[in-house]
Amino acid sequence: MVKFNKPPFLGKELDYMTEAVNLHKLSGDGSFTSRCHSLLEDITTTKKALLTTSCTHALEMAAILCNIQPGDEVIMPSYTFVSTANAFVLRGATIVFVDIRPDTMNIDEKQIEAAITDKTKAIIPVHYAGVSCDMDIIMNIAYEHKLFVVEDAAQGVGSYYNKKPLGSIGDFGTFSFHETKNISCGEGGALLINNKDFIERAEIIREKGTNRSRFFRGEIDKYTWCDIGSSYLPSEICAAYLLAQLEKIEHINQNRLNTWEFYHKNLKHLEEMGYIELAHIPSNCEHNSHMFWLKVRDLQERTKFIQFLKDSGVYSVFHYIPLHSSPAGLKLGRFNGYDIYTTIESERLVRLPFYYGMASDDMLKVVEVVSSFYDSYQKI
């Protein structure tokens, strides 16, 4: 069976984890966390990067920093993971969903302005598959209406929009280092802060609402409870594992790009024959090859397609169920405008096996099995 995912592992992770153990410093914000922060700031050119235990927690911190209050509204696509919405719902916001673009599966920037009301507080663009949303339009809308922009770049570590790293464009950016992501430490994330005025409060929120970070830097002689917050720090073991991968981010993403291009080249004929649709990468976007997705004709065909691949030894999956149609989404949000693409396009999408270090034989098998499905399909 060709697995859908294998977490990346380069070898130096164990050396760094052993070093962390030998330093007798396993809780958060040790030397490995500090080195990860510096690398992330260099990679993304952001003012401040802070490791978190997950992208979910990074989003929760962003919601607090945006001062989201009960009754506020937040605009986002429905085609996203639940954490994108939950982080703001927890602060009392109503989620306003808008439609997506079928070519990238990202939020349709042309639908955002019509969803803005006097209660709107923030826009949350989700960079699906590491391919950027149209951030110029989104930032112009946010500036005109005085709204926060929080980039959900969970899948976008190492991607760019007009040469700008994803996560560095909005007021805040969030990354995921879950085991399914390009760069991983099993579970983990990061908050990027692009306005220096929010750095001090972000550190306080991340340290249970205390100014403990300033204490450890020797800036104050004792620390105390200053604000709301929680324990958002990952352990040094996680940071040590992550550091080994951040140091090799270009190598990892290039390896994944090679696989992405192999799939694209060898499945292009099926798109030209009208059987499938492949992802569109806008010319001003440089993606990190986070995933390889394609679209089949409809939900019925997708069900047969996924089962055919499984029976042939290839494990593939679909992705998000649109949030606006879920029980919580119906209760905690609303869809503005018309759902022209969100549902129907989500029912067509399939993700193929894709990970760092994927063997060429496995890549070839995936292509052959996908092609054989449509060979047999023609005969039905």
CATH code of 250-379, in short, is 3.90.1150.10
Question: 318-342 in b/e burial notation, b at 16+ Cβ within 10 A?
Answer: bbbebbbebeebeebbebbeebebb
Average the pLDDT over 15-20 and give the result: 96
pLDDT beyond 70 at 380: no
In 3D space, the residue among 145, 176, 147, 141 whose CA is nearest the CA of residue 159 turns out to be: 176
In 3D space, the residue among 8, 50, 251 whose CA is nearest the CA of residue 167 turns out to be: 50
Say what percent of the chain tops pLDDT 90. Answer: 94
What pLDDT sits at residue 8? 94
User: Contact at 8 Å (CB) between 334 and 94?
Assistant: yes
CB atoms within 10 A of CB 367: 18
Report pTM: 0.96
Per-residue model confidence as pLDDT tens digits over 251-291 = 999 999 999 999 999 999 999 999 999 999 999 999 999 99
Per-residue model confidence as pLDDT tens digits over 38-60 = 999 999 999 999 999 999 999 99
Per-residue model confidence as pLDDT tens digits over 87-140 = 999 999 999 999 999 999 999 999 999 999 999 999 999 999 999 999 999 999
What pLDDT sits at residue 358? 98
Please give the Cα distance from 171 to 331 (Å, whole number).
28
Task: Retrieve residue 117's tokens.
Answer: 């009301």
In 3D space, the residue among 180, 244, 189 whose CA is nearest the CA of residue 17 turns out to be: 244
Average the pLDDT over 323-328 and give the result: 97
Class of domain 12-248: alpha beta
Largest CA distance in the chain: 78
What pLDDT sits at residue 378? 56
Task: Retrieve residue 265's tokens.
Answer: 């080249």
Average the pLDDT over 62-87 and give the result: 98
User: Contact at 8 Å (CB) between 332 and 95?
Assistant: yes
User: Contact at 8 Å (CB) between 193 and 46?
Assistant: yes
Per-residue model confidence as pLDDT tens digits over 297-315 = 999 999 999 999 999 999 9
pLDDT beyond 60 at 354: yes
Say what percent of the chain tops pLDDT 70. Answer: 99
pLDDT beyond 60 at 351: yes
What pLDDT sits at residue 215? 83
Per-residue model confidence as pLDDT tens digits over 186-237 = 999 999 999 999 999 999 999 999 998 888 888 888 899 999 999 999 999 9
Task: Indicate the domain borders of the chain.
Answer: 12-248, 250-379
Tell me which DSSP letter residue 133 carries: P
Q: Hunting for tokens 């826009």 — which residue is that?
A: 123
Q: Residue 242 — very low, low, confident or very high, per pLDDT cuts 50/70/90?
A: very high
